[in-house]
Amino acid sequence: MNTTLKTLVAVAATGSLLNAAELTGKISVKGTPPPAKPIPAVKADPNCGKSRTEDAMTRTWVVGAANGLANVVVYIKGGLEGKTFKVSEEKPLIDQTGCMYEPYVSAVQTGQTFQVRNSDAFMHNVNATPKINKGFNFAQANAGQVNEKTFDKAELGAKFACNVHPWMIAYVSVIENPFFAVSDKDGKFTIKGDLPDGKYTLAAFHQKGGEVTTEIEVKGGKATAALEIEAKQ
Ligand SMILES: [Cu+2]
């Protein structure tokens, strides 16, 4: 093996080790949250109603199989103090489609570029009112328009709203490290990345239910966690 090839092999091996950690788990809801409610204004709107045969539903509490709770931001909250991480070049998308924000809940890293798109053939405006970061408000008049933004500071649940369609709401959390995920429809989550073995505090944040934490230990690149968030009216 020549020197160049040896170096390439060494780099490839290191790369795979660096991406070894995988944290998995489930977020459950404790108690009975209020059920989702229809939002009749969406179907009734002359523009928004065109693409819709059924009512849009509220997404405050989305509960799936075995009390699994969706739309929970799960992230490493403690154990990484003083460390800095490369910002992902991936650009998460917050889409406006059928007069709803998709996804309803998302997360980005501090300094990570994300995209906001209008997929509808009429105007929306994007009014972001974070409490710690700098807000913005711009119109997207046409289908396909994309604007790119970043937030510099950690913040949970920054609110996005469209003032043309008052039910259009989304929440974006900004996490200081790349180790985060949003729970799926059954409350499951997977966080992958270059996380060294060790002890960490894992947090789960729900827009209405608040935040809970647990201590985890990553061993051999693996850890699992189960957290419960209490239902609130
Ligand atoms: Cu709108």
Give the model confidence (pLDDT) of 187-225 as tens digits: 999 999 999 999 999 999 999 999 999 999 999 999 999
Render pLDDT for 110-144 as a digit per residue (tens, 0 to 9). 999 999 999 999 999 999 999 999 999 999 999 99
8 A C-beta contact, residue 157 and residue 205: yes
228 CA distance to ligand 1 middle (Å): 33
143 CA distance to ligand 1 middle (Å): 12
- Report every protein residue that has its C-beta within 5 angstroms of ion ligand 1: 124, 162, 164-165, 168
212 CA distance to ligand 1 middle (Å): 32
Domain 86-176 matching CATH 3.50.50.60: the answer reads: no
Q: Flag whether the pTM goes above 0.95.
A: no
Confidence grade of residue 150 (pLDDT, cut at 50, 70, 90): very high
Rounded distance between C-alpha atoms, residue 14 and residue 31, angstroms: 45
Report the pLDDT averaged over residues 153-166: 98
pLDDT of 16 reads 46
Report the pLDDT averaged over residues 4-8: 50
Rounded distance between C-alpha atoms, residue 117 and residue 73, angstroms: 22
Q: 3-state class of 66 per DSSP? A: helix
Render pLDDT for 65-95 as a digit per residue (tens, 0 to 9). 999 999 999 999 999 999 999 999 999 999 9
118 CA distance to ligand 1 middle (Å): 9
Residues of the chain with CATH 2.60.40.420: 86-176
Closest alpha carbon to 157 in 30, 60, 29:
60
150 CA distance to ligand 1 middle (Å): 21
177 CA distance to ligand 1 middle (Å): 31
Tell whether the model's pLDDT for residue 7 goes beyond 50: no
Average pLDDT, the chain: 93
75 or 52: which leads in pLDDT? 75
41 CA distance to ligand 1 middle (Å): 12
54 CA distance to ligand 1 middle (Å): 18
pLDDT of 19 reads 59
Instruction: Kindly state the tokens that stand for 52.
Output: 């819709």
